[in-house]
Amino acid sequence: MKMGFYPKLAFEGIRKNKRMYVPYILTCVGMVCMLYIIMFLSDTDAISGIIGEGTIRPVLKLGGCVIAFFACIFLFYTNSFLMRRRKKEFGLYNILGMGKRHIALMLFWETVMTALFSLAAGLFCGISLSKLAELLLLNIVRQEVSYTFSVSVTAITFTAVVFSVIFTLLLLNGIRQVRFSSAITLLKSENTGEKPPKSNVLVGLLGIALLAGAYFIALTIKDPLSTLTAFFIAVLMVIAGTYLLMTASSVLLCRILQKNKSYYYKPNHFVSISSMVYRMKRNGAGLASICILATMVLVMISSTASLYFGCEGALLSRYPREINNDFFIDPEAGAEALSDENINEMKSVTDALAEKYGITPKNAYAYRSAYIAGIIKDGIVETDASNADIADVLTGVWQFYFVPLSDYNKIMGTDETLEKGEALIYTYRAGYDLDRIAFKNGQSFKIKKQADSFVNSTSAAMSAVSTMLIVVPDLSESIKGLEDYADHNGDPMLNLRYRWIYYFDTGAEDEKNSEFANELYYKFNSAESLSKYGLSYCNYELRSPNRKDFYALYGGLMYLGIILSAVFIFAAVLIIYYKQISEGYEDKARFEIMKKVGMTEREIRKNINSQLLTVFFLPPGLAACHLFFAFPMIEKMLLLMNLNDSSLFAAATGICIIVFLAFYMLVYRITSSAYFNIVNGGKEE
């Protein structure tokens, strides 16, 4: 045969199966476009030198790797629908005398045509939209925009290599399926699996157990640091549990409906339930895939949107005032350096220097503290890391801050009183329910009261571990015993440290704040001041310069969340579409028989609605259930990024669910019409 015969045959195969091929090719184009845009943004000069560049580029590169990995998995999944539909055609070619080698050659040309068109169209769309995507990113992260158009050769090369590998793997997989199947098997491929599957109760119970375990982890986790580890475990359990439950319960659901005679023996239910029984095992996997994708979309959009729109609140939590000064005491100087006389002198020097720059401290607060890390077990704090298990060190570490009652009352405007051995506590990022706390190497305290609030601290906001503020009558007396851990080979868990903080607003311009803070830094970090005031070092942080960093990080995450959500939504829609189309072709013969025995078009429509509605809304329903139980865990993870506004996250989650359900119903209407057109005798394209 002439070599031009196979490309022509391949083109005709694509054209005649355009109902299946067009969405598949559009998916490939979309994936190529998305990958190019993400890799272009990670490589573009437009973000070079901007504040947050070191955050944005790694986030985008990670997103590109996620898209590449997902594209490989998803294109294999969607390609399986194509192969299932084409196998009958390949079997017919084989019976008519075309060898497996020639079929493989035809597959090669189909893959080459699809790959070339997808890469060309995808890269064209990606390059065309890249500037728009760049402008959107820069606006989200609040950076100055540039209107210079550019093309990234690196992004083109990476995208071309990734999809060349994917299409090569798809071709090899298609050749493998044809090579190891007989002509008869290929001809009957669309009818395989017609034996009604049995509902496996054990599989269903295992799925329920996995989901229950994941939900239990999500609801009971208390420590934000351990949430990171638990989250990935829970995600794996949810994915496995969803697939097992959907596969088993969908079959069981159909069996239950069949046994319900008042429901089953109705014209609009009989055919639909009978049809679904034969393919529910395969449908279960598809429904589970849609559910997982829906869950991923809802989690990503709700969390990243909450971070972005709560960015200002997170910034205020991390940087409570415009200028945040931390004076760290030398361990050798000890608690004596926190005397009223020493503190008042450091404050006077700071205020005098501020006056030099025309700055008047406003909304100021200051307090002394001694702090140490430890692990709580049954109300007893272990401060010696050598006596702690590695699991406790990784997940159960707390940071404890001892604050004198006089400073607490001054800051909070209260008049609390404490007897010796009593304390007030305030916890951040985790709760504490016992009425007593004791330090194994120090003092024991009866908890008189738990405070509802306290001023923010930069160190608590920065720390990944939970924090407990312990307000005590006398600082020196309360830390007795812990002073033995003033220095121990630099291990942070074994170091008792002392600090005085002085935070205030200025209302001044950023440049003036920076000049003042710099001079303050050099003044207190001079050898003379360190020795005079018993300091180890002095540090300051300014809020304003870090605002752009926050918006760069949270904006970059939101942008990536939007891109990935668009990819996952597109994937979910395509799964639904192929599910409807493939089932439409499978059910067409059955409905033709029913039409011959008197079923009207209206009854066919009712049948289709019954069949689709029986299972179609299971995925978003279960996805919403997943999100509901995951809410406490995600909320604690957001705490690690200084988002303390639970109501904002709850509102974002609710809005995302409503919007997603509206979109899902639109997809239902479109795909159900496609299914109806096929089974009602529409032209097979």
**Domain boundaries along the sequence of the chain:** 1-192, 199-319+544-685, 323-507
Reported confidence tier of residue 156, pLDDT bands at 50, 70, 90: very high
Query: In the chain, what are the helix, strand and coil shares in percent, each to the nearest 5?
Result: 70, 10, 20
pLDDT tens-digit series, residues 188-238? 655 544 444 455 677 778 888 888 888 888 888 766 656 666 777 888 888
Reported confidence tier of residue 276, pLDDT bands at 50, 70, 90: low
CB distance 290 to 312 below 8 Å = no
CB distance 122 to 28 below 8 Å = yes
Reported confidence tier of residue 493, pLDDT bands at 50, 70, 90: very low
Is 389 strand, coil or helix?
A: coil
Q: How far apart are CA 44 and CA 363, in angstroms?
A: 42
Amino acid in position 39: M
Instruction: Quote the pLDDT of residue 263.
Output: 56
Quote the tokens at residue 123. Answer: 């890269």
Helix (H) or strand (E) holding 371: strand 362-377
Question: Among 634, 620, 647, 676, which residue's Cα sits nearest to residue 292?
Answer: 620
Q: How far apart are CA 268 and CA 660, in angstroms?
A: 28
Q: Across all residues in the chain, what is the average pLDDT? A: 79
- Give residue 657's Cα distance to chain centre: 16
pLDDT tens-digit series, residues 226-270? 666 677 788 888 888 888 877 776 666 666 666 666 655 555 555
Q: How far apart are CA 68 and CA 169, in angstroms?
A: 14
Q: How far apart are CA 171 and CA 377, in angstroms?
A: 58
Instruction: Quote the pLDDT of residue 69.
Output: 83
pLDDT tens-digit series, residues 496-545? 888 999 999 998 888 888 999 899 999 999 999 999 999 988 988 888 88
Q: How far apart are CA 245 and CA 626, in angstroms?
A: 13
Instruction: Quote the pLDDT of residue 454.
Output: 85
- Give residue 53's Cα distance to chain centre: 21
pTM (predicted TM-score): 0.71
Q: How far apart are CA 351 and CA 349, in angstroms?
A: 6
Which residues neighbour 189 within 8 Å (Cβ) at sequence distance 6 or greater?
A: 84, 87, 88, 91, 181
pLDDT tens-digit series, residues 466-482? 888 999 998 888 888 88
pLDDT tens-digit series, residues 355-414? 988 888 999 989 999 888 888 888 888 877 666 555 555 556 788 999 999 999 998 888
Q: What is the DSSP string of 450-515?
A: E-S-----HHHHH-SSEEEEEEES-HHHHTTTGGGGS-STT-GGG--EEEEEEEEE----HHHHHH
pLDDT tens-digit series, residues 634-661? 887 787 777 777 888 889 889 989 998 8
Question: Among 64, 36, 42, 127, which residue's Cα sits nearest to residue 564?
Answer: 64
CB distance 580 to 675 below 8 Å = yes
Q: How far apart are CA 104 and CA 634, in angstroms?
A: 48
Is 370 strand, coil or helix?
A: strand
Reported confidence tier of residue 683, pLDDT bands at 50, 70, 90: very low
Token pair 């329903």 is found at: 621
Residue 96 has pLDDT above 90, yes or no: no
CB distance 347 to 337 below 8 Å = no
265 class by beta-carbon count within 10 Å (0-12 exposed, 13-18 middle, 19+ buried): exposed
Q: Tell me how crowded residue 623 is: count the other CB atoms within 10 A of its CB.
A: 26
Q: Tell me how crowded residue 179 is: count the other CB atoms within 10 A of its CB.
A: 11
Instruction: Quote the pLDDT of residue 402.
Output: 93
Amino acid in position 137: L
Q: How far apart are CA 307 and CA 559, in angstroms?
A: 11
Residue scoring higher pLDDT (29 or 245): 29
Strands (E), 477-566: 497-505, 535-542
- Give residue 28's Cα distance to chain centre: 24
Quote the tokens at residue 450. Answer: 């738990």
